[in-house]
Structure 1
């Protein structure tokens, strides 16, 4: 496995191209003011910092999980997606994104657990019950939004009241975002359960189409946006105070923490050896196969930029 066969950056010039937005992981090309070509790169982001090296097949994995889950939830919530002409590419309607991420948590894990450990009992204006242990289930899932940061900046917790007070989202739109978030999380929980998994927490992003319809955009239920536990043995591990067996990129965060990096000022990203990168890639493939309940088929990465460009051009020529 060669890390050079990864897609870290793109510089395409498609017909009708108006602009390019480069996020932490995805690169989004606007075509003719009505279409988005979203390319999932192999970049890895943790603690809101993009790591220097790419992870082979990561972009393909994220794109395929997200697009397949969109197909499995479109009866509940409309989404932006039109087509997936390449393993790393999703094409859909141009939307104006809401400047918040809708984070929903079923369990006291990750960021919520870190806040709880330092004595906080309020997260984004939502009260967390006393007497909880890390990875305990909340009585009801809680929504803890975050402001959407630009590349290189940290997302920040924000309460519903502050979102409305600052006019980031109107109250009518926010109620739809909350409703969609709960419906998607419920469906995701059911799908995860059917695969022997627990959907612990996740985030959704939404946008508005030109005709004013609110739709799901970006990713859904991927290991980058979600945390999963294995259901088998969950309660026994909780009872014994043991760490849960996870399916998420938390293993990357823990590796970074153990190497003295949490994205804080003055800290340096630790060197990721080719051997470590290969293990991360293998973990992402394991994540895909467990989450989707099917084998992962590796795309040809011998000329990944050429492949993507050819497939996108073919779609645009046929449809536009």
Structure 2
């Protein structure tokens, strides 16, 4: 099996601290620059699975970089460069404590709530009589608060402003950016025969200005349907053909794991990990319309990253 990067322990020039997330490790350089390493770790049900997926970090990093570039005319973003296929470096911003989730279709958790009789999500009223995977008349924004631990919580725009989590002017700016980004993402997806169903954006602030931060439009942060056959499946009430990491969650569920106490993660054989890798590469090629480049494959990924990032930081001095 190809090499994977599941743990990092770098010491870059000017490094102040490091944050190890579920799949990304973020290094703070002089409280000014962030070095975000997209590892090959994979998580589901808020659990980091025991084995890495070859090329997963590269897939996510390169998709996000392409979409950050493709939307830079809409909103300023944190990205400065991608010195390595698995790394983005950019400006350090003070992140807002909300995630902006935007939904174009009634699916996933929103559908489960709707099915249970809920007609309002995050203060947004939903029409009666909708079906699973039906397109909303207009995309809806359903923000969540970013939890320090555990699950993020749904919250309305009114509560966010009233509680002072984000001030009114910044929140309205984030809403406007969210709608414009989703519109652009949907247009790009349509060119590749896809429907951008729902996604999330994160924003931060630097020098009084709102920036788009983190990843965007990746299969880990977004849900895509194949456009071909959508109408037919919807009319028949059949599940949509999806392009997301939902297939990993389904495999875990089928093997008796949903992240609950006492449950065991099923064995992740090399063959299974390779099959997940193939799916991620397929996602990349569909979403970007480009051939995936495996040239970055190397026996020592960590050394490659350390060398390329250090060279970039030194050149920027």
Cα deviation digits, residues 136-183 of structure 1 (max 9, x gap): 111110101112234x62222222122122221111111011000000
1:301 aligned to which of 289, 294, 298:
298
- Structure 1 match to 2:246: 250
1:69 aligned to which of 67, 86, 91:
67
Matches within 5 A, 1:53-132: 53-132=51-130
Q: Secondary structure at the match of 1:140?
A: strand
Kindly indicate whether residue 313 of structure 2 is the aligned counterpart of residue 316 of structure 1: yes
Aligned Cα RMSD in Å? Answer: 1.3
1:10 aligned to which of 8, 11, 32:
8
Please tell me whether the aligned partners of residues 48 and 155 of structure 1 are also in contact (alpha carbons under 8 angstroms).
no
Matches within 5 A, 1:147-296: 147-150=145-148, 153-209=150-206, 211-296=207-292
Q: How many residues get paired? A: 316
TM-score between both structures, scaled by the size of structure 1 = 0.95
Q: Distance in 2 between matches of 1:311 and 1:275?
A: 31
Q: Secondary structure at the match of 2:8?
A: coil
- How far off its partner does 1:265 sit? 4.1
Q: Secondary structure at the match of 1:216?
A: strand
TM-score between both structures, scaled by the size of structure 2 = 0.96
Cα 1:256–1:115 change in 2 (3 A) is: farther
Q: Secondary structure at the match of 2:58?
A: helix
Cα 1:115–1:255 change in 2 (3 A) is: farther
- Structure 1 match to 2:144: 146
Gaps of 5+ in 1: none
Gaps of 5+ in 2: none
Q: Distance in 1 between matches of 2:275 and 2:191?
A: 27
Q: Distance in 1 between matches of 2:214 and 2:15?
A: 19
Cα deviation digits, residues 220-261 of structure 1 (max 9, x gap): 100000001110111001111111111111111222222333
